[in-house]
Amino acid sequence: EDQVTQSPEALRLQEGESSSLNCSYTVSGLRGLFWYRQDPGKGPEFLFTLYSAGEEKEKERLKATLTKKESFLHITAPKPEDSATYLCAVQEFTGFQKLVFGTGTRLLVSP
């Protein structure tokens, strides 16, 4: 069965203090690994899709990387507006559109 584990559960950073979030996964056949951001009271907002080991994608202060067993979301010089819960999810080839989510990392960036 597909499994996704995210760490840490919560992370508190000072503005400008870079860090990384981890997503470890087990899936029979990876179609894609997704990163979403979720703000309180809202639905998840899409950030990135990664398809194969070695792939990297960037968007503003965020950079996502993928290996065969895990993905990292690197946050460079974060700002308070980056505070949110970051969710990782995997989609396998035989699951149609089903996503299996981790429980997320709650990020708080203090000014």
Partner 1 sequence: KAGVTQTPRYLIKTRGQQVTLSCSPISGHRSVSWYQQTPGQGLQFLFEYFSETQRNKGNFPGRFSGRQFSNSRSEMNVSTLELGDSALYLCASSLGQNSGANVLTFGAGSRLTVL
Q: Where along the sequence are the contacts to partner 1 (CB under 8 A)?
A: 31-32, 34, 36, 41-46, 49, 51, 87, 89, 91, 95-104
User: Which lies closer to partner 1 via its Cβ, residue 77 or residue 108?
Assistant: 108
**CB closer to partner 1, 31 vs 76:** 31
For residues 111 and 99, what is the distance between their CA atoms, to the nearest angstrom?
34
Residue nearer to partner 1 on the CB measure, 13 or 87? 87
In the complex, the smallest distance separating the C-beta of residue 1 from partner 1, rounded to whole angstroms, is 10
Longest dimension (CA), the chain: 44
* Spatial separation of the C-alpha atoms in residues 63 and 83, rounded to whole Å: 16
Nearest to residue 50, comparing CAs of 62, 42, 40? 62
